[in-house]
Amino acid sequence: MLSPPQQNVTVAAGGDANAVFTFKAIARANPGNQRVTARNNETGDAVEREVQVHPDGQEISFTTGRLLAGDNQTLDIQVPSAAIPGSIDAELRIYPNLIAHVLDAMNGIAKKPAGCAEQITSIGYVSVQALQLLKKAGVDAGTKDSRAQLYDGALRSVQDAYSLLPSLQQSNGGFSYWGNTAADVALTAYVLRFIAGASDFVEVDPQVLSKSRSYLISQQTPSGAWTRYDWSTKGQIDDPMKTAYVARALATSSKALDAKERNAADASVGKALSYLDDRISEWRDPYLVGNYAIAAISLKRQEHIANARELLARLAHNEGSTTYWNLEANTTPFYGWGTAGRLETTALAVEALAKLEAFGEDSALAEQVNRGLQYLLTHKDRHACWYSTQATQNVIEAMIAAMPLGTNGTGDDTASVLANGTKLADIKLPQAAEVVGPKVIDFGKELEVGTNRVAIQRAGAKSAMQTNVITTFYVPWPRAVGTQTEDFKSGDTRALKLKVDFDRREAKVNEALACRVAAERIGFAGYGMMIAEIGLPPGVEVDRKSLEEAKQNGVDGYEVQPDRVVFYLWPSAGGSRFQFVFRPRFGMNALSAPSVLYDYYNPEANAVVLPMRFYVQ
């Protein structure tokens, strides 16, 4: 990122960690990837390099989703007047069927951080679900056409995830988020579900499954519940939400068990369902009800199913042509809350209702499923996912339960895409059951501040077709939501605070510079993992020893990226305070990347610190 007056900048580039190149006059180049001529300062050789240029401001991105059907074939996009002229970009994604959503999410979720066991499991789990749908469409390892690449890519993702997980399993059979922390019951249940599903496609060690299942059963209390740590009483208390989730995991991952293991799993699930039934008058959360219903349906416990059907109908919230289910607890067992928590909960309710509908025709249930599905499909993030890895996995599972392949299109269909009356492209839409990702159209120069209209003009039948537009623009830093060195984002007990302080911003080449970071969730310390992305000036070398030392001060893990260091933090009283060291490798007058702290399980909660200028001679 360069300020407008900057004409020359020296940066490292091209995959050679030791080479230094000078790029000429790129500060006023058009935004986007630019091919520029570079000269190696050591050899004098001139080469071409691709660099990323963008306006000097904060990037803003939002998604507009809509089901296009009948005469309703347009989407309106609002761009605020603060947007920097020329910075507006958009991407239209047209989904002809269910599998296009799944394949898109499989690619999108791989772009998210992947350091802990939950993230690794979620990325692998979404690929398992893609394989399940591909198999349903007749695509497998023996397929010889272009679809084989989709299958092979998903299969590699599943194998990669599974190969990483056994090392995180502890001697008691439980899984921890980072391998060196205490085993977590909900996480172990999630890993159990993933490995059980993966076993249909890759070879897994049955002992990993057996030990996981035994650990979960061993953690169940005599009452039938699983517990959680309560911050107010400083002790363990029964947790109905976690109990419903673990019961679902045990009930849905018990295939191919011997008689002894099956009896133990069935007895554990039975105790859990009885515990929950005894407290049915206290149920207020559809997250609990959805898991309860899926467990009961899996075991064909008719006496438990009627309760769930009535409660899910009563807890639904209508919003226009859609329906959602709200998370009423503080968080899910995976710390989801806010928008991501609502999507996670809605997905569970939709999956449970779809499974309930399978017991017999019920027009009221079918309508709720369709309305809930539309809510989910119109609330994606910029990565074509659903904000958190947990929500994404749950939404895809709900889609698989609710929609057969090929219900969103009629087959032979062509369309013209227009933005504010300007034709962007003529496209041929895939057939309804075709195994493809979404049709993607990039545009931007046709958009302006204010209301913009994107229209799909179709020559064929105007059947239902899901579309999303992901819009990105920049606002000047003086208009951005952030501060120069410290930001505090309020919001009930989930407020976030980030402070980034460099010991100095003027230095000589190869001088050590220290960056001090303070990150904290104000008011309550138990809402799960946060991620701090600390922006750096271009081309610096980060001292790995200092990063390892940061692990002694609240850092669970880190990733070094070209313009930032990503830190994984688990909140504790007083927050995390740490520092690390980096060295500039060349002279510069340039801005760092911005820094941001966000809640991993609800990224909408974030605090931003603006870029800082560095002078290096």
Q: What is the DSSP string of 394-437?
A: HHHHHHHHH--TT-S--S-EEEEEEETTEEEEEEEEPPTT----
Phi, psi of 404 (to 5 degrees): -75, 160
Residue 496 has a pLDDT of: 84
DSSP strands (E only) in 6-129? 8-11, 21-24, 32-40, 46-53, 57-68, 74-79, 89-95
Residue 224 has a pLDDT of: 96
Structure tokens at 591: 């801005």
From the list 222, 206, 195, 215, the residue with the least C-alpha distance to 265 is 215
**Nearest-angstrom CA–CA distance, 52 and 13:** 11
Decide: 230 and 213 in contact? Cβ < 8 Å: no
Decide: 294 and 252 in contact? Cβ < 8 Å: yes
pLDDT surpasses 90 at 90: yes
pLDDT surpasses 60 at 239: yes
Stated pTM of the model: 0.79
Q: What is the pLDDT of residues 303-339, one digit of tens each?
A: 778 778 888 888 999 998 899 999 988 889 998 888 8
According to DSSP, the residues that pair with 582 across neighbouring strands are: 513, 542
Phi, psi of 481 (to 5 degrees): -90, 100
Long-range contacts of 315-318 (CB under 8 A, 24+ apart): 315/284, 315/285, 315/286, 315/289, 315/349, 316/286, 316/349, 316/368, 316/372, 318/371
The DSSP 8-state label assigned to residue 175 in this structure reads B
**Nearest-angstrom CA–CA distance, 435 and 36:** 38
The DSSP 8-state label assigned to residue 448 in this structure reads -
From the list 301, 211, 210, 219, the residue with the least C-alpha distance to 258 is 210
**Nearest-angstrom CA–CA distance, 509 and 521:** 36
pLDDT surpasses 70 at 523: no
Residue 406 — pLDDT band, cuts 50, 70, 90? very low
Mean pLDDT over each residue of the chain, to the nearest integer: 83
Query: Percent of the chain at pLDDT above 90?
Result: 43
Structure tokens at 204: 């897994």
According to DSSP, the residues that pair with 602 across neighbouring strands are: 599
SS3 of residue 454 by DSSP: strand
**Nearest-angstrom CA–CA distance, 8 and 593:** 18
Residue 421 has a pLDDT of: 93
Residues across the chain: 617
Least confident of 64-68, 171-175, 199-203, 525-529: 525-529
Residue 376 has a pLDDT of: 93
From the list 321, 287, 316, the residue with the least C-alpha distance to 394 is 287
The DSSP 8-state label assigned to residue 184 in this structure reads B
Q: What is the DSSP string of 197-247?
A: HHTTTS---HHHHHHHHHHHHHT--TTS--EEEETTTTEEEE-HHHHHHHH
From the list 237, 241, 250, 253, the residue with the least C-alpha distance to 204 is 253
Residue 29 has a pLDDT of: 41
From the list 239, 163, 169, 158, the residue with the least C-alpha distance to 197 is 158
Least confident of 166-175, 206-215, 472-481: 472-481
Q: What is the pLDDT of residues 4-59, one digit of tens each?
A: 333 333 343 333 333 343 433 333 344 455 555 545 555 656 555 455 566 778 88
